Amino acid sequence: MADTAIANFTDGVTANATDRIAAVRSPFAAGDDRYLTPTYIGNYLATGTLAAGTLTTSQPLTLTQTWNDGAVTFTGLRVAITNTASAAASLLANFEVGSANVFRIRASSGSLLITDPTDTTRGLISAGGSGAGAYNGYGALHFGGLDFGAANVVIPITGGIKTRATFSYAWVSGTDPNATADLFLGRAAAAKLRMGDADAAAPVAQTLSVQNVVAGTTDTAGAAFTIAGSQGTGTGAGGAVNFQIAPLGGSGSAQNALATAWQISGAGHFLAGTDNTYDIGAAAATRPRNLHLGGYLAGAVQSLSGAGAVNLTTWTTAFTSTGAGNALTLADGVVGQMKYIVHVVDGGSGVLTPTNLFNGTTITFTNLGDSVILQFIGTEWHVIAINGAALA
């Protein structure tokens, strides 16, 4: 066929197998004799395959464009398919090496598929090279250096998933991942995990729970919820479990400091964070019910020398008389409160005058060992037991 301009091509024009179309630039190297001959063009049009043959040097097929308008949203490569009917496994693209699938893009969902889930050599490789990218291993996607936008989330080859300190992992209540999140897990400080979004003027209460028995399942027990302290080795004690609160402070806008209210020690003891500070239950309100002990019940002891006030904060007051008739006082307690008073050093005597005392006004301690057990019932102290002391 003689030289013919592309504009003069019409239906029915034929070409010899050796004819060349000079208007189309060859994708092969200069001097290569594999031009886009009608044979190549015909194969492509008939079968959808452009066969470049065997190459001994790198000769990529390259599409070049120059974008030069900031107001235009450009598209470099577009595959437009009208999916009138197709199988569910149809692919938008399939990339192969040695006739084996490397990864594919599924048409129905846009999912990226790595054909062999046991092949850890194939996957999304970053500019860092193999090992710095991602691979699929036995059904799980493992990342190494995958960066989601301005170093917000990084999944390195070691060390687990990483994100910026100001970012949280979040969940939505429905199926739309773009909906407003209502559950957050974030970083409060080094080695400190925070439930909920970043600190706010009106924080949201959080609940930590374990898997429940599904409704409709009859008479099935729930699962245990375990909080474990750090494990020690050998003679090293295990780590304690601390329960902290932020006690109120003076007026201001600074966050109140945390303090340990209760602790389960590494030895298993249940301890108050600060001695003689925190209560269990409240009068006539949030009281626990029964207390079952396998050992003794011990309380703090007030040492009172001479005249003064018998306190309400310890179970027992050990009184040392320093003269005749030391004046002792006792304010009203809370309903049910018990109080023990014992004359432990005889240097004279003491006269106790409670604010309110049933069936009397004073109790006198004269001899060593004189004692009384009182309980506050209603609005006054009642004598439960008395030994040597005189009620008047």
CA distance readout (Å), 185 to 79, 278, 374: 40, 31, 52
Q: Is it the case that residue 387 has pLDDT exceeding 70? A: yes
At 55, is the secondary structure helix, strand, or coil?
Answer: coil
Q: What does the pLDDT read at residue 333?
A: 95
pLDDT, residue 214, reads: 96
The 10s digit of each residue's pLDDT in 218-246 is 999 999 999 999 999 999 999 999 999 99
Give the list of residues 6+ apart from residue 356 with CB closer than 8 angstroms, or none.
332, 379, 380, 381
Highest mean pLDDT among 34-38, 189-193, 286-290: 189-193
**Better pLDDT: 255 or 135:** 255
Question: What's the pLDDT score for residue 4?
Answer: 59
Looking at residues 8-12, what average pLDDT do you find?
57
Q: Which residue has the higher pLDDT, 366 or 39?
A: 366
Please say if the pLDDT value at position 384 is more than 70. Answer: yes
Token digits for 98?
């040695």
Position 137 scores a pLDDT of 32
DSSP bridge pairs for 154: 147, 162
CA distance 266 to 334: 34
Confidence of residue 120 (pLDDT cuts 50, 70, 90): very low
pLDDT score of 126 more than 50: no
Lowest average pLDDT, out of 160-164, 243-247, 338-342, 363-367, goes to: 160-164
Enter the pTM of the model: 0.60
**pLDDT confidence band for 141 (50 / 70 / 90):** very low
H helices of the chain, in order, are 38-47
Interval 251-269: pLDDT, tens: 999 999 999 999 999 999 9
Residue with token string 């970012």: 167
CA end-to-end distance (rounded Å), the chain: 138
State the pLDDT at residue 48: 57
Q: How confident is the model at residue 15 (pLDDT cuts 50, 70, 90)?
A: low
Mean pLDDT of 171-199: 91
Which CATH number, 1.10.10.10, 3.20.20.70, 2.60.120.640, 3.40.50.740, labels domain 301-391?
2.60.120.640
Report d(CA 85, CA 224) in Å as an integer.
Answer: 52
Over residues 79-116, the pLDDT tens digits come to 888 889 999 888 888 888 787 777 778 777 666 665 54
pLDDT: is 110 or 206 the higher one? 206
How far apart are alpha carbons 116 and 106 in whole angstroms? 15
Q: Is the pLDDT of residue 21 over 80?
A: no
Contact 331, 356 (CB under 8 A): no
| Residue 78: predicted pLDDT | 86
Question: Of 54-68, 101-115, 143-157, which range is least confident?
Answer: 143-157
Domain with CATH 2.60.120.640 in the chain: 301-391
Strand-pair partners of 354: 330
The alpha carbon of 162 is separated from its chain's Cα centroid by a whole number of angstroms, namely: 13
Stretch 178-198: mean pLDDT: 93
Name the band, by pLDDT with cuts 50, 70 and 90, for residue 18: low
The per-residue pLDDT of the chain, averaged, comes to: 81
Task: Please give the pLDDT value at position 60.
Answer: 78
Please write the tens of the pLDDT for every residue from 151-184: 445 555 455 667 778 888 899 998 887 889 999 9
Query: What does the pLDDT average to over 172-199?
Result: 91
Single-letter code of the amino acid located at 334: V
Instruction: Between 19 and 49, name the one with better pLDDT.
Output: 49
